[in-house]
Amino acid sequence: MEIKIAEYSGYCFGVKKALKLTEEIIKKYNGDNRKIFTLGSIINNPGVTKKLAKKGIITVEKAEEIEKNSIFIIRSHGMPPDLVNKIRELKEVEIIDATCPFVKKTQTSASNLAKEGCFVVIIGNKNHPEVLGIKGYISNKKYMIVENEEDIEN
């Protein structure tokens, strides 16, 4: 039997960048006595999340679980700016942004379109962290999230 691996298999550039940055943070703050948190996993890979947990990364599901004076890494999917600001103000944490550059570009586009008064359409899962992050950049609140053909018809 012959097994062929697709030319473009493996992690995308943004995920690789986020993982590299996370490993650098782990090394930099090793022995610092400050905890390192993420809100949701750095990437969508339970195996990687477990490995990072063994190295000290604490994944939480609510911002309230982040401890004061800790380090907080923004996951590769990005986050809404108001949530990042809330964490910064209430938790007095050092924030490291591991958002994928392609996601950042989309966030910036959504923000610019909103500032121009445009209605923004986001195509994706309305509960996915990346979609929620992009939505958070639409200041005029004129947007629609399209998950399927029914959403377009409605």
Establish whether 65 is a catalytic residue: no
Residue 1 pLDDT more than 90?
no
Q: Are 66 and 91 in contact (CB under 8 A)?
A: yes
Name the phi and psi angles at 123, rounded to 5: -105, 120
| pLDDT tens-place string over residues 9-39 | 778 889 999 999 999 999 998 878 899 999 9
User: One of 64, 130, 149, 153 is an active-site residue; which one?
Assistant: 130
Kindly calculate the radius of gyration of the chain based on its CA atoms and give it in whole angstroms: 17
CA–CA separation, 140 and 120 (whole Å): 10
pLDDT given at position 44: 87
Cα–Cα distance for residue pair 119/22, rounded to 1 Å: 35
pTM: 0.87
